[in-house]
Amino acid sequence: MENFWEKKTLSQMSSSEWESLCDGCGKCCLNKIIDDETEELHFTNVACHLLHSKTCQCKKYEKRLKLVPDCVKISLDDIDQFHWLPASCAYRLLVEEKPLPEWHPLLTGSKSAMHTGGHSIRGKIVSETQIDPENLEDYIAIWPAE
């Protein structure tokens, strides 16, 4: 049987289908740096202070947009910005007409394979409260973009 994400476009999905696409990796909650000259985007391993380092979930999901002005609600209105998402992000993958990875929770039924396979932020981050923001460049990391 065809999966809903294979037979529907993003705009045809219900809100619960849309939400279920998010694997909960937490990578989109990492601080990013944009190079002034090249406009290249770099991920860091420095996380938003509301990101839980073990569950990889937002600690204040319902209030996040009020509490963190930089927090981005991923929606179809911003589809032209999806290339800023990690390459493993389901929303970006579907826009690029690529399949979901084999470890995606919708395919495996849980987040275990994602975490054990190293596809989430678990065990890899520091909180933005623990660093000097002036030194953010020292925390540039390649893995979140993958």
**Backbone φ/ψ region at 41: left (φ over 0), alpha (ψ -120 to 50), beta:** beta
Residue 51 interacts with ligand SF4 (CB under 6 A): yes or no: yes
Residue 114 interacts with ligand SF4 (CB under 6 A): yes or no: no
Tokens at 100, concatenated: 């979901």
Residue 128 interacts with ligand SF4 (CB under 6 A): yes or no: no
CA dist., res. 128 & res. 17, Å (int): 31
What is the side-by-side order of every strand in the sheet holding 126-127? 30-34, 41-47, 126-127
Tokens at 72, concatenated: 């981005």
Binding mask 69-88 for ligand SF4 (x = CB under 6 A): --x--x----------xx--
Task: Give the residue carrying structure tokens 């944009």.
Answer: 34
- Minimum CB separation of residue 93 from ligand SF4 in Å reads 9
**Identity of the amino acid at 36:** D
- Options 33-41, 68-76, 108-116, 130-138: segment touching ligand SF4 (CB under 6 A): 68-76
- Minimum CB separation of residue 37 from ligand SF4 in Å reads 26
The binding site for ligand SF4 (CB under 6 A) comprises: 22-29, 48, 50-51, 58, 64, 68, 71, 74, 85-86, 89-91
